[in-house]
Amino acid sequence: RHSLLASDYIVWIDGDAMVLDHSIPLARFVADRFNQKSLVLSEDMSWSDWINTGVLIARTDSEWIRHLWADAWFGAHERFYHAPFWDQSGLCQALAKRREIMPDVLGAMATGLRPSPWFSWMGGKHIKETKQLGVWDSA
The whole-number pLDDT of residue 110 equals 81
Identity of the residue numbered 118: W
pLDDT digits (tens, 9 = 90+) for 14-44: 888 888 999 999 899 999 999 999 999 999 8
Q: Which of 55, 57, 58 is nearest to 44 (CA)?
A: 55
Identity of the residue numbered 112: G
Q: How many residues does the chain have?
A: 139
Contact, 42 vs 128, CB < 8 A? no
118 Rama class: left (phi>0) / alpha (psi -120 to 50) / beta: alpha
Contact, 124 vs 117, CB < 8 A? yes
Below-50 pLDDT ranges, the chain = none
The whole-number pLDDT of residue 48 equals 77
